[in-house]
Amino acid sequence: MSKRSDAKVTPISEEVPASEIILEELVGYALRRAQIQVFQHLVEQLNQFDLRPAQFSALAIIEQNPGTTQIELARSLAIDPPQVVPLVNKLEALALAVRIRSKKDKRSYGLYLSNEGEALLKQLKGVAEKSDMDATANLTSEERTQLLHLLQKIFKPIADA
């Protein structure tokens, strides 16, 4: 039995005749391949800040919605509420965000950016924008705008369903 590291990986295009490859014709497959590439590039860029894309997204959402709750943040990030706890804990540990007890509901906490979080987020937005532009460098400005519009048309109906 060969070890996994000894196995030769043959590209799909060599294994199956092109006429039989249907994955390349599937929108979902193309979206996933593009997402992996774009996401990996952003991960590499955010590594210098010891942050992950979800943490960057959380900072941006908190900035746009000061006082948002962890439940609302989970909904915005499309993740399960228990997954928000370690994410917010990390942001607090890095002094980028704070939880402040709600005056209306003492059981609830609102999330706010710290001064450090606000300053870093400005920098991170530039990093994310550059990463996004790098990922779409092969597109014209019009194609990039059209791609963004088409992607929004795809995910909005699914999100609203």
Taking residue 59's Cβ as centre, other Cβ atoms within 10 Å add up to 22
Let me know whether 30 and 60 are in one domain.
no
Residues 6+ positions from 21 with CB-CB distance below 8 Å: 12, 13
Higher pLDDT, residue 19 or 29: 29
Within a domain: 111 = yes
Let me know whether 55 and 106 are in one domain.
yes
Higher pLDDT, residue 50 or 160: 50
- Residue pLDDT, tens place only, 108-128: 899 999 999 999 999 999 999
Let me know whether 20 and 85 are in one domain.
no
Within a domain: 4 = no
The predicted model gives 20-32 an average pLDDT of 84
How many residues appear in the chain?
A: 161
Let me know whether 78 and 99 are in one domain.
yes
The predicted model gives 28-55 an average pLDDT of 94
Let me know whether 25 and 85 are in one domain.
no
pTM comes to 0.78
Within a domain: 83 = yes
CATH number of the domain bearing residue 55: 1.10.10.10
Please tell me whether residue 139 adopts helix, strand or coil conformation.
Answer: coil
**Pairwise CA distance, residues 92 & 94, whole Å:** 5
pLDDT at position 7, please? 47
Question: Does residue 2 have a pLDDT over 80?
Answer: no
Beta bridge partners of 101: 109
- Among 33, 49, 65, the domain boundary falls at 49
- Residue pLDDT, tens place only, 92-107: 999 999 999 988 888 8
- On the 0-12 / 13-18 / 19+ scale of CB atoms within 10 A, 87 is buried
Let me know whether 77 and 37 are in one domain.
no
Taking residue 25's Cβ as centre, other Cβ atoms within 10 Å add up to 8
Let me know whether 85 and 116 are in one domain.
yes
Which range marks the domain in which residue 39 is found? 15-49
Please tell me whether residue 15 adopts helix, strand or coil conformation.
Answer: helix
**Pairwise CA distance, residues 83 & 77, whole Å:** 10
Let me know whether 58 and 109 are in one domain.
yes
Let me know whether 108 and 43 are in one domain.
no
Q: How many domains does the chain have?
A: 2
